[in-house]
Amino acid sequence: EYGRLIVGRAPMHFGLGITHNSGSGLFDHYSDTRDLVGYKIMMGNFYFFPAYAKINEGGLSSYDDVNEWNYQLVYENPDSDAAMGVHYQNREATSGGNDAPAGALGGAAVDGQYNAKNFNIFYKKETDNYNVGFEVAQQGGDTGVRTAGGDRVSLSGFAVALEYEW
């Protein structure tokens, strides 16, 4: 098997689950799914998974969709019980599909498209005595919202997760 075509609603999972969690773990409380078309290309212990997802399909007469591109490159070695990878995600919503809650900002208004980018890196190692893993995630982008003073409202976030079992 060298690849897998994935079409339809599918769970999205990456790393320890900071931003994408399939909900398959014992203590997972949610599942991250998408309506997507993707192809998982497998080459030995590596796989590359580009996918196009439709987060929201607007009406046929208007242009108000929310779309997402995802790219994962992952190394999984069952012999050494090690895994690592990178994930890049770009989510865009047109002005018509941007449903940012601008009214909560006191006089702010939606005047452009939503465009957010996520970048994640993870590493996980399992041994007989311990399991250790970490994931680092960064988010940035533009919400398409302007404040009453005319300033753009942007996204900026950083997260780190560490998992250790002895």
Say which amino acid occupies 53: A
pLDDT digits (tens, 9 = 90+) for 50-81: 999 988 777 665 577 888 999 999 999 999 99
* 35 token code pair: 């309506």
What percent of the chain lies above the pLDDT cut of 70?
95
For the chain, percent helix, then strand, then coil, each to nearest 5? 0, 60, 35
pLDDT digits (tens, 9 = 90+) for 68-114: 999 999 999 999 999 999 999 999 987 777 777 766 667 787 888 88
Q: What is d(CA 128, CA 163) in angstroms, rounded to the nearest whole number?
A: 16
Read off the pTM. Answer: 0.84
